[in-house]
Amino acid sequence: MAKIDEILNQEGIDRIAISPYKQYSRGYMEPGNLGTGYVTGLKVDAGTRVKTDDEVLDGIVSYDRAECKNAYMGQINMTTASSFTGVQGHILGYDLLRNPAVDNAKPLFEEDQWDGSKLPIYDGKPLQDTLVEYFGTSDNRRHYPAPGSFIVCANKGVTSYRPKEDRPLRTGESYGVWSAIAISIAKDPVHNSSMFIEDAGTWNTPNEDDLNEFLDRRRRAIALSIAQCGQDANTSFASSWIGFAHVMMKPGEIGNAITVGPYFSIPVDAVPGGSILTPDVDMNIMEQLTLPKWLEKMKYQSIVKDQHIEY
Amino acid sequence: MNVKIAVLENQINADFYQTLQLNYGMRKINSLLLGKIKQKEVVLLATKNLLILAQKDNTKTFPLNQVRKLTFIKGTPNGEIQFKFGNHVYKVNQIRIGRVFDFVQTLKPTLPLEANYTNTNRGENNYLSNPDHAVEIDRLRTALQNGKISRYEYDDFNGSISKAGK
């Protein structure tokens, strides 16, 4: 058992999050899960669809496309959480199935925190990659959420249309959509919560280069808001991981950018050597395993290495 | 070869096409239009800082910050655009290749001044029903839909959304 779990257990807190289903992950708080904890992951994706004449359907279909892109989260009932992953939570790729890229990452820049410490900002890709490897993709599904399950998620998104005709943009229309997610890891995870920040928006010129420049500035704005949120709660963070996705629409397409941090429980058959009778040991195994070791034990090929995964 | 310019192959005189590829093939072209000025074929090119007006035997380059008024008149097919440089007004019509509004938006973005409200989008109820916040929310929505502020900032500044989360 990890040292932190020993301390938390004395407070009556457990971080166990085991789903009784085979293969499928389930949402946090769905009945029948073992343990009172949850696992969270990072997903940020953008997708497009050709627009029809039905705005409601367009919204649904484009949202669905973004949900199913990369880390597969299709066919779920998504409910919204206000974005903290606390003492009872694990972060996939960081606390569980740690991605070695997390340890090798170099900070992009640093932000000042209220207590005088520096907050290093990293690219969120290693954590996004871990969720892709764990949930799988649409055509290579692994331990994705059970179809129809209720998944609590930190989430935000935008939908926008680019007109097919050559005419000025009307209100609500644009050339591109983008989304971002950040997870900030609490320095003191026994007493404080780590925090998600999700963001999304539209882009109003056809220049993708300008959008990329804007997103770089946006990363700094997000870093600043993380530091400010930390001050509000008198907490500071050890590191922040920020991931972006964007897509430019072709004429006649509707675009959707979503940012999602799902809270879920892991099925016991996703734990190598796991047993439904010993959920605490199962969590321990997942804490000990690195992502490459887990892939090896599960006899999975690395999707991120083999396929072209672009967020 | 510049792929943006390549769409003009077989659309304009071969010499004119070669000249364009030679002169601008290595530049990053953001947008392009093919139309006519006084029945004479003209290609408008937009780079990051320049508007280039190219004809078979004559090319003019306008620094973007000195181009006054760049106006979309109508879209393709048979599109029309107008711009002013110094005291001279250039009017390009019969535009048949390119997207006129995209060209304008590339060089001098103009943004809608009104916010869009639709109950058909997820989570987009008409917040204007609350008169205490109507004007401010309308401004916020306009800024959000113009890409000036993000969803996070919109939610943060919006008085009618609870501040339980991010």
**Residue A138 among known ligand-binding residues:** no
Task: Indicate whether A102 belongs to any domain.
Answer: no
- B50 and B92, same domain (yes or no): yes
**Residue B66 and residue B103 share a domain:** yes
Distance from CA of A215 to the nearest CA of B (A): 11
Phi then psi for residue B89, to 5 deg, are -105, 125
Q: Which of B62, B84, B107 is the last residue of a domain?
A: B107
Flag whether pLDDT at B125 surpasses 80.
no
Q: How far apart are CA B24 and CA B16, in angstroms?
A: 12
What is the pLDDT, as a whole number, of residue B123? 52
Q: Name the 3-class secondary structure at A153.
A: strand
Residues 127-156 in A contacting B (C-alpha not used; CB under 8 Å): 154, 156
Query: Are B94 and B132 contained in the same domain?
Result: no
For an interface test with B, give the residue of A207, A240, A250, A258 to mutate (most B CBs within 10 A): A207
Chain A closest-CA separation from residue B114 CA (Å): 6
pLDDT by 10s per residue, chain A, length 311:
778 889 999 999 999 999 999 999 999 999 999 999 999 999 999 988 888 777 777 777 777 778 888 999 988 998 888 889 989 999 999 999 999 999 999 999 999 999 999 999 999 999 999 999 999 999 999 999 999 999 999 988 888 899 999 999 988 899 999 999 999 999 999 999 999 999 999 999 999 998 999 999 999 999 999 998 888 888 899 999 999 999 999 999 999 999 999 999 999 999 999 999 999 999 999 999 999 999 999 999 999 998 878 88
Catalytic residue among A198, A213, A253, A296: A198
Contacts of B149 in chain A (CB under 8 A): 201
pLDDT at B51: 93
Distance CA A179, CA A258 (A): 6
Same domain? For B62 and B143 the reply is: no
B111–A172 C-beta distance less than 8 A: no
B75 shares contact with chain A (CB less than 8 Å): yes
A189 found inside a domain: yes
Q: Do B147 and A166 touch (CB under 8 A)?
A: no
B126 to chain A, closest Cα gap in Å: 14
- Whether the ipTM is more than 0.85: the answer is no
Is A179 annotated as ligand-binding? Answer: no
Tell me the residue range of the domain where A208 lies: 3-97+107-306
In angstroms, the Cα distances linking A167 to A22, A252, B52, B141 are: 52, 12, 22, 22
Q: B88-101, pLDDT tens digit by residue?
A: 999 999 999 999 99
For B149, the closest chain A residue by CA position comes to A201
**Number of domains chain B is built from:** 2
Which pLDDT does position B163 carry in this prediction? 63
**A204 interaction partners in chain B (CB closer than 8 Å):** 105, 109, 111, 146-147
**pLDDT per position as a tens digit, B29-64:** 999 999 999 999 999 999 988 999 999 888 999 998
Q: Based on the fold, state whether residues B61 and B74 are members of the same structural domain.
A: yes
- Count of domains forming chain A: 1
> A311 in a domain, yes or no?
no
Q: Are residues B90 and B134 in the same domain?
A: no
Residues B44 and B84 in one domain: yes
Shortest distance between the Cα of B147 and any Cα of chain A, in A, equals 5
Distance CA A32, CA A86 (A): 21
Mark whether B19 and B100 lie in a shared domain: yes
| Upstream peptide bond of B77 is cis (omega within 30 degrees of 0) | yes
Residues B102 and B115 in one domain: no
| H-helix segments, chain A | 3-10, 55-68, 100-104, 125-135, 208-232, 279-288, 291-298, 303-306
A82·B165 Cβ contact <8 A: yes
What is the pLDDT, as a whole number, of residue A220? 93
Residue B51 maps to which CATH number?
2.30.29.30
**Same structural domain, B86 and B124:** no
Contacting A residues, span 79-108, partner chain B, CB-CB under 8 Å: 81-84
Here the CATH number for the domain that contains residue A88 is: 3.50.20.10
User: Last residue of some domain: B72, B90, B107?
Assistant: B107
Q: Which domain holds residue B96?
A: 3-107
Residue B133 confidence (pLDDT): 66
Q: Are residues B13 and B86 in the same domain?
A: yes
Reading the block at residue A66, the tokens are 């973004």
- pLDDT-derived band of residue B154, with 50, 70 and 90 as boundaries? confident
Both tokens of B4, joined, read 């943006």
Q: Residue A50: CB partners within 8 Å, gap ≥ 6? A: A252, A253, A254
Residue B130: pLDDT band with limits 50, 70, 90? low
Please check whether residue A73 touches B, CB under 8 A.
no
Q: Among residues 85-124 of chain B, which lie with CB inside 8 Å of chain A? A: 99-102, 105-106, 109-112, 114-116, 118, 120-122
Measured CA to CA, the distance from residue A226 to residue A239 in angstroms comes to 10
Chain A residues 267-296 with CB within 8 Å of chain B: none
Are B37 and B93 contained in the same domain? yes
CA distance A44 to A244: 6
Q: Catalytic annotation on A213?
A: no
- Picking from B107, B126, B158, the residue at the C-terminal end of a domain is B107
